[in-house]
Structure 1
Amino acid sequence: MTFLSVYRSLYKHYGPQSWWPGDTPFEIMVGAVLTQNTAWINVEKAIAHLKHGRALSLNKIAAMPAAQLARLIKPAGYFNVKAKRLQNFCRWLQQQGGEKVIREWDDDELRRGLLSVNGVGFETADDMMLYAFDRPVFVIDAYTRRLFARLGLIDGDEAYETLRHLFESNLSRRIKTRAQQVQMYNEYHALIVIHAKDICRKRARCSECCLRRQCPAALQPENLS
């Protein structure tokens, strides 16, 4: 089993996902901050509150009182912390000249800039890179670690950057153009999320898994059916 064969199996089973949910690149970036340590359904509620309050804009989020923003995004959890992080990000984006300006930056400059914002870590920055700016960056999350550790392709406790480079180096050998890389990384991450949420849970449903015949964890006696 390889990283590419896993992708092909998941894609064949689930089909295209066309992810990430969001009407605009800015909404995607807001969602990337809000989704830290919470389920996406909670992020959707928070974004709906921002839209209802006519507050889903760079300038309004940056300028509003932190307590007001926290109330609007309360469904996303950790709302006081996330309000501060979201405002940190929006004020940084204002200082750079806005989304159109940073969209012109090269990959390394853009990623360094995003990571310079207090409260934006590797996963959040890479969500923005891939889904808001169409950059060929593979997102590593807890679902990825769990699934691929069970498949025996990683240990699961590697550093974020180690895993990102591992995925990108393996997949980029077969996919040459940036546009194709972006499309695959987008689909692959979405497929990992849907599979890990529904099947490869903390308590895995191995009998329903499309990867079970090649998965060392699924072939353990207690998981065979």
Structure 2
Amino acid sequence: MRTSEALREIYNRLLAHFGPQGWWPGDSPFEVMLGAVLTQNTSWQNVEKAIANLKNEGLLSVEALSLLPVEKLAEIIRPAGYHNLKAQRLKNLIALIEDQGGVAALLNQPTAVLRELLLSVKGIGPETADSIVLYAAGRSIFVIDAYTHRILCRHGLVAEDCDYFQMQELFMDNLAEDAALFNEYHALLVRLGKEFCRKSQPKCECCPLKTVGEQQED
């Protein structure tokens, strides 16, 4: 099975098994951006608690967060973990948004420019930047995470030492350029990684991807 066929087979099987995932949770592009930072190294349940705190305090706006002292912000987002570090990262993101003239002005930048602007923010790496580009701006870029790497490795689609950009190119070179497809695909891989392709004690025997990639060709 060729790489493009294997990737499409994986998607089809996951969609059939799990159904649409409805990602990314958020009432606005700005909320999605905040969530992308807050979800670093924590579960989404914890992020939801932090965002709920921000909503309850009436702080889900660029203006409100800009005026809020970083120490106060850290306490409000404490449920997301690493709260002091993430508070500063959110402040850095807010500074970029203000510098670019607002959320809409930033997200309307050409994809390559938007991505570089996000990567220039201290504390925002490729995964967080691409999550914002895909889920907040609706651009066709594939997000790579630890689940994706684990799944691809176990199915022989990439080597263990394959880096973020090589994996991203694998998807983008072998799938149609489609933001909706990339959105759903990434969400489905996360679901698989959590429920079946776990780091320890994976459920291989009942995995919906069992046998995929066994006959893959170069």
TM-score, with length taken from structure 1? 0.90
Q: Is the 8 Å Cα contact of residues 67 and 80 (structure 1) preserved in structure 2?
A: yes
Tell me which residue corresponds to 1:105: 109
Tell me which residue corresponds to 2:63: 59
Say whether residues 1:193 and 2:190 are aligned partners. yes
Equivalence map 1:81-120=2 (5 Å) = 81-120=85-124
* Cα deviation digits, residues 38-81 of structure 1 (max 9, x gap): 11110001000111111111111122111100000000000000
- In structure 1, stretches of 5+ residues that fail to align are 217-225
Question: Shift of the alpha carbon at 1:18?
Answer: 1.8
Match for 1:169 among 156, 169, 173?
173
- In structure 2, stretches of 5+ residues that fail to align are none
Question: Shift of the alpha carbon at 1:151?
Answer: 0.7
Percent of paired sites with the same residue = 48
Tell me which residue corresponds to 1:223: none
Tell me which residue corresponds to 1:208: 206
Q: After TM superposition, where is structure 1 displaced by more than 2 Å over at least 4 residues in a row?
A: 213-216
Match for 2:40 among 36, 39, 42?
36
Tell me which residue corresponds to 1:123: 127
> What is the rounded CA distance, in whole Å, between the counterparts of 2:186 and 2:161 in structure 1?
18
> What is the rounded CA distance, in whole Å, between the counterparts of 2:185 and 2:12 in structure 1?
9
Say whether residues 1:156 and 2:176 are aligned partners. no
Q: Is the 8 Å Cα contact of residues 33 and 82 (structure 1) preserved in structure 2?
A: yes
Query: Quick one: structure 1 residues 138 and 76, their matched pair in 2 at CA, closer, same or farther if it must change by over 3 Å?
Result: same
> What is the rounded CA distance, in whole Å, between the counterparts of 1:14 and 1:204 in structure 2?
17
Question: Shift of the alpha carbon at 1:215?
Answer: 5.9
